Every structure is written in C-alpha cells, then in structure tokens.
Structure 1
C-alpha cells in the first residue's frame, strides 16, 4: 500500500485560491483505487469546503446565529444523505460525485501524510478507552445492554476495538540531521507524497468500533486545523494541512479495519463525552424544545430528537455531530445505498458528573430523493400514468421554482 502511494506521488497537489468568499481545494486523488473524480474535491464556498467536517474551516451563513447555522447545515446533510451520490454532489456544488476519494483502511496512506497510525504503543493507550464500563473512563453498561453490545475491549474478550491516530511522532517525521532522532513536536516536519515538506499539526483522533454491534464511537476529535492553531500559535492555511484530515475519513478507515467484510452493517454512530462549547449550547437549547423542557441531559435513555425537528437538525449540524452525516453521505456506494440518520439521542453515562453523549441512529437505504425543477415536471407526470405515486415535499425554494420531493411509485394491477 505504501509503495502505491509513493508511485503516484506526482499526482499529489494542493491549490488553495482565496478570492473573496471563494476557495478551491484540490487534493490528492488515486484514480486506481478510488472511483470518485478529482472534481469532487473542489469546494465552491468557504461554507462547503471539501473537508466537510473540519469546523475551523467552515463559516456560518451570513447573519445567522450558531443555532440557525447548525439547523441549516443539519438540514442540508439530511438532504444529502437521502439523495443519490450525484444528487448530493449537485446539492453541495461538487460536480458529479460527493464520494470521498479516501477509501478502505488507509494503511500506509495515513502515515504518508504524517500520522502515527495506531502503533503498538498507541494501541495499548487506546485499549484502555475501549472498556465501556470503567470508573476511570466510560460507564455505559445500561446503554450497551439495551443495544445488545458487550462493554469489554477485545483484549478482555469483548468486541470493542479502539484506534488512536496522532499527527506527530510518526515514522514519517524527518529526523534531526545531527543525532538522527525526532525533533520535539513543535519542530517536526514530514515529506508528503508529492515531495513537499509539511509541518506536523499535533492532531489526535480516537475512534472506537464495535463491529458486532454495528457501532462507531467518536471518542476524541482534535482536528489538524484546531491542533495546529495551538501548536503553531497561529491559524493554519488550508494548503499547510494534511490532505487526509476529516474525522469522517479517519473513522471510515477504522470502520474498514474492524468491520472488514461487513462494512454495510452500520446502525449506531456515537459521540462520547462532549466538551465542545457550541455543541453543549445546542444541547441545552434542544432540551428546552421538549414537551417537558429539561435543563440538562439525563442518564440513559436520555432524550430523543427526530431529524424532522429543528433540534435534531441542529445537533446533527453541530461541530461534533456533522461528521456522522458526512460519513454516510460520502460512502453511499460502499454502504449499499443512501443510508441516513433518523434521530439522535442525548444522554449521560452512569458516571457521576458525566458529560453529554450523542447516539445517532442509522437507517436505510430507502427511496432516494432528487432535486426536481420545472423542466422535469412533465416527464414526472408521464412516468406516473401507469402507477400510483406517493409524493412528499421535502423542501421548496422561496420563489417556488425549485422543490425537493421524495417519490414512491407503486405499480397498478
């Protein structure tokens, strides 16, 4: 795998053009191993950059507060999840495909972009996080029991497997010329597949997987952009960041490793111990929308929010929630169709003083929705003459010229 990445190093390039609110980002693409076209890596606005789930690089809609912005982002994610690959690409202005170019387990690929990819030492650290009934970590015995999952890590005979991936101390780090050792983290550089030297960002991701229970756990999300701001003491430019950097891509790699041969069986996407300030504000606001308003999240089973509600959309579109939508939207082909999130549960663990958790429920694939314009209406009418059709209006533009509908056709007998 590593040889493959080296052989196509010439295809690695990054162009970041900032003209007003427009940003174009073109990243590394391996046409042999990834079916998505290079054009999908082009982002049209600062709001919809290709690395979708990097919150530091995403700006709110002009004039919107954080809640409204998250509702809109969550709503757009829902549409993208329900649509076909091409439909989602059109929705996001991504050409013909919204599929991520980074597929499979990414062994070798992550290291080539400067990551210390779950080394033996890191595995031991991550394994401690995988005990989901531990007083020193997560206490989710009731949650796992209701979902039919074991709380123990694989090292103790259970089904949980955790991965720790850090963007520093990697085998790819360029050694000091004098003593041939790795420099301190703030001074580490690596040579990317294109031959250009990049600086280590200090990013860290911990991903848990229970393949038997069809679940993924976002346990630690410290993105390259956020980590670089701290390590470099300044904001990173897009062209300074590793091309593989979205949590949805990294969690997809971990899912492929742990659930190899059965990657379509995904039911639950968790976010554990949420500390993000904006997301916690959204949680408080969402809880106030309940018929019996609550001041804070409660223990399992907590509170449930359907995706048809603004509260559900805001939590999905929140800084730590949106990765779940991109995970499904950008891997339709591999997952067997357009899977989507139907609801989210907010709860706390059994540990005293627990922080909130998210549990996103995955369903589908169902019938896909598509963008329908006036020019397509006559053809749609012709198609329904010999069938009964159930149509659901999903969204309409302010001028009523463009609508999003979901159509279910039933043959007449």
Structure 2
C-alpha cells in the first residue's frame, strides 16, 4: 500500500473512533488514564513557560488573524514540555537525559492550540533500538509519552488557570510541518486540486467525498489530534473534527515582531525574499466540542 493510501486508511479508522459517543459500543476507544496535569511531573516531564514559543503564532499571523484579533501578550502562552529518561546513579546522574519534547503556543480565550515541535520519548527509544539492532517495543497506554496526552494535560492546566472550559477548543494547528510523510500527502492533495500555493488556504471537509480530510488526519501530524479527541471524550464533550485547512506561511524571529500584535516590526518585512516567503506548510484542524 502506498503512503497516501496508508494515511487515508488510518484516517478513516480514526474518524470511526472519534465518532463513537456511547461507551457501550464495541469499538468505543479506550480512554486515557491521564487526567491530572500533575501526572506530567510524576512521569518525568518538565514544563517551562516560554514566551519565545509564541513566535510560532507570529509565523502564521495571517492565518491567526482570520480566527482572532486577541492580544498576544495577554491571551497567549508558550509551553515547553520536555521528558527526561531515568537517571543512571552509576554515572552520578541526578536526572536522566532529554529523550523527548513537545512545544506549544496556546490561547484558551479563543480555543487555539498550536503544535510547534514534537519528538516523543517512544520515538527516541525506538530509534535507539533500531540502531542497536534490538527489538522495538510497542507504546503502552499506562506510560505518559504520547503527544495527545501531554497536549490534553497542558490544555487542561491552561484552561484551569484562566477559568476556561476545556470544551472551548476550536482549532488545533500543526505549524511548519517537517515530517516527510505529511508533506508528501499535502503536496499530493494540492497538486490534485491544482493549488500549489493557495494564498487563502485550502479548506477540506473532514468527510469530503475524495477522502482528503481523512487522509490528512491519518498522517503523522494528524493522528495525534485524532487520539486527543478519541481518548478524552468526556472532558472535551465528544469533540469532532469539522474540517482541515492547508495553508502556507513564512519564518520570522520572536524579536522581529511586536509582542502585543504579532505584526512584523517596520524594517524587517523582507524575511528571506519573496520567492520563499511562503515555503512552510501548516494544517489547521477545526474542532467542534459538545
């Protein structure tokens, strides 16, 4: 099966999981056991609030402004979630080495999560096992490692801080995608639609007749969003995905933008030249919570 077909099949299966609302149904997805933000610290995750991560929102400012005009200083937070493996006391370690991370920008006022950079501890472990010629283990549901769980717990904490319902979630954006499988699928869809660089983005219904919505959900950058909704049903009100938008953006630095508005500072508008200003690909999954 080719890469596109594999993603489509995976996405269709994920849509089935998300669609189940009754926990008595045979195929009702197993729910995550992690529901307390404190679980991150208990499982080797360090959380740091870093405003510089808001540059990810500045990268996609044109798209963000289609959703909200909220002030970045007041309504956005940058989050670094870093995982450390077990310490080796024989080496004098008090903490283990960094083996995974998930970085975000979040806005609970407008219900937006931006995924900036992701590397799971499981991926690191599997890569090391493969390099050493050792058997690769499957991920377990009792280990706090997945993007979906860490994203949910981080969203939970930020909503609690701002006294905001978790169900306000409206957009999950995968920004500046680098995964080759996801990029392949996106480019295939854009080529089929003859819109290689849609200035206003290309919005696709998640249940479109050609299966593009499901295919994007089945990519490495979409699956985590599917699991987030499928395994936290009660908390998110049986949330569903309405559509996904493909859009381009450019790279900027945190220091190049106004911290309140996100706008480029005068004199720094030419970021790398016109020919590659919109080099980066992004996906925005529109969420409907119950």
Question: Which TM-score band (shorter chain)?
Answer: 0.7 to 0.9
What pairs up with 1:364-403 in 2 under 5 angstroms?
364-365=289-290
Q: With structure 1 as the length reference, what TM-score do the two structures score? A: 0.57
- 2:87 equivalent to 1:174: yes
In the alignment, the residues of structure 2 paired with residue 239 and residue 132 of structure 1 have an alpha-carbon distance, to the nearest angstrom, of 29
Structure 1 position 223, deviation (Å): 1.4
**Which of 225, 228, 243 is the aligned partner of 2:143?**
243
Structure with the largest fraction of helix: 2
1:362 is matched with: 287
What is the match of residue 332 of structure 1? 233
CA separation in 2, counterparts of 1:250 and 1:180?
25
**Match of residue 311 from structure 1:** 212
Report whether the alignment pairs 1:212 with 2:109: yes
Gaps of 5+ in 2: 252-276
Contact 1:225 1:236 in 2 (8 A): no
Partners of 1:80 and 1:239 in 2: CA distance: 19
Q: Do the aligned residues in 2 keep the contact of 1:219 with 1:273 (CA within 8 Å)?
A: yes
**Count of aligned pairs between the two proteins:** 257
CA–CA distance in structure 2, aligned partners of residues 241 and 278 of structure 1: 25
Q: Counterparts of 1:248 and 1:258 in 2: how far apart (Å)? A: 15
Residues of 2 paired with 1:111 and 1:267: CA distance? 27
1:343 matched to 2:243? The reply is yes
Are the equivalent residues in 2 in contact too, given 1:224–1:241 (CA < 8 A)?
no
Q: 1:111 aligns with which of 28, 41, 45?
A: 41
Sort the Cα spacing of 1:68 and 1:180 in 2 relative to 1 into closer, same or farther, 3 A: closer
Query: Which protein shows a greater Rg?
Result: 1
Contact 1:85/1:98 (8 A) holds in 2: no
Assess if the C-alpha contact under 8 Å between 2:56 and 2:105 holds in 1: no
- Aligned-pair Cα RMSD in Å: 2.6
Corresponding residue number in structure 1 for 2:254: none
For structure 1, list consecutive stretches of 5 or more residues without a partner in the other structure: 1-63, 186-199, 366-413
Conserved 8 A contact 2:32-2:141: no
CA distance 1:74–1:149, change in 2 (3 Å): farther
TM-score (normalised: structure 2): 0.78
Greater relative contact order (CA < 8 Å, ≥ 6 in sequence): 2
Cα distance change of structure 1 residues 180 and 65 upon mapping to structure 2, 3 Å threshold: closer
**Pair 1:283–1:214, CA change in 2 (3 A):** same
Residue 297 (structure 1) shift: 4.1
Task: Give matches, 1:288-303, under 5 Å.
Answer: 288-290=191-193, 293-294=194-195, 296-299=196-199, 301-303=200-202
**How many Å separate the matches in 2 of 1:151 and 1:65?**
44
The SS at the match of 2:105 is strand
String of CA shifts for 1:278-329, please: whole Å, max 9, x gaps.
0000001111332xx12x3444x31111112311110011111111122112
1:241 to 1:253, Cα distance in 2 relative to 1, 3 A: closer
1:257 aligns to what SS in structure 2?
A: helix
Per the alignment, in what secondary structure is the counterpart of residue 328 of structure 1? helix
Q: Quote how far apart the aligned CAs of 1:259 are.
A: 1.1
Alpha-carbon contact 2:17-2:230 (below 8 Å) kept: yes
Alpha-carbon deviation of 1:139? Answer: 2.1
Aligned to 1:162: 78
Contact kept, 8 Å, 1:71 with 1:314, in 2: the verdict is yes
